[in-house]
């Protein structure tokens, strides 16, 4: 069944994704994002600065976590023509090297504004392998 604004119900839970974040994944993201801060890519530097987020471990870029949450939405809606209109999140704790992040979303609201303008509001989240929230927020999704 093709997703449309009309056939999506509030409280619909989107399929979750899980991503393991080893140092190679973090390093590749640093290259893609041009963010080479040592908090992300230099384990020796990070050990000398344990007072920073993540303690002695390097940490994942916050935007990578945001990307995981966005992927949940695009994996679910892109083939049907879904377009993310807005994405915002707050970060609660650092994702450390070798953490596994699970991201998900749930339809919270439907806004009726006419063809091509109707949109969904989704609650989005990311948690680590211990079930601790690392980020949460909302997204607005246009669906045909």
Domain boundaries, the chain: 59-142
- Residues 121 and 138: beta-carbon distance below 8 Å: yes
Four-way CATH pick for 59-142: 3.30.1120.10, 3.10.129.10, 3.40.1190.20, 3.40.50.2300: 3.10.129.10
pLDDT greater than 90 at residue 116 = no
Q: What is the pTM of this model?
A: 0.94
For the chain, what is the radius of gyration of the CA atoms? Answer: 17
CA distance 74 to 79: 8
How many CA atoms lie less than 13 Å away from 65 in the CB half-sphere?
27
What stretch of H or E contains 139? Answer: strand 133-142
Predicted confidence (pLDDT) per residue in 73-102, tens digit: 999 999 999 999 999 999 999 999 999 999
């Amino acid at each position: 069944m093709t997703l449309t604004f009309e056939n999506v119900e509030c409280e619909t839970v989107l399929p979750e994704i899980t991503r393991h974040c080893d140092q190679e994944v973090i390093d590749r993201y640093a290259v893609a994002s041009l963010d080479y801060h040592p908090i992300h890519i230099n384990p020796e530097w990070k050990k000398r600065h344990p007072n920073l987020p993540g303690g002695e471990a390097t940490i994942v870029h916050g935007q990578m976590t945001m990307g995981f949450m966005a992927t949940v939405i695009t994996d679910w809606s892109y083939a049907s023509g879904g377009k993310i209109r807005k994405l915002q999140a707050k970060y609660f704790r650092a994702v450390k090297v070798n953490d596994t992040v699970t991201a998900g979303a749930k339809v919270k609201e439907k806004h009726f504004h006419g063809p091509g303008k109707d949109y969904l509001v989704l609650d989005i989240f990311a948690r680590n392998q211990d079930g601790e929230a690392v980020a949460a927020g909302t997204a607005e999704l246009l669906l045909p």
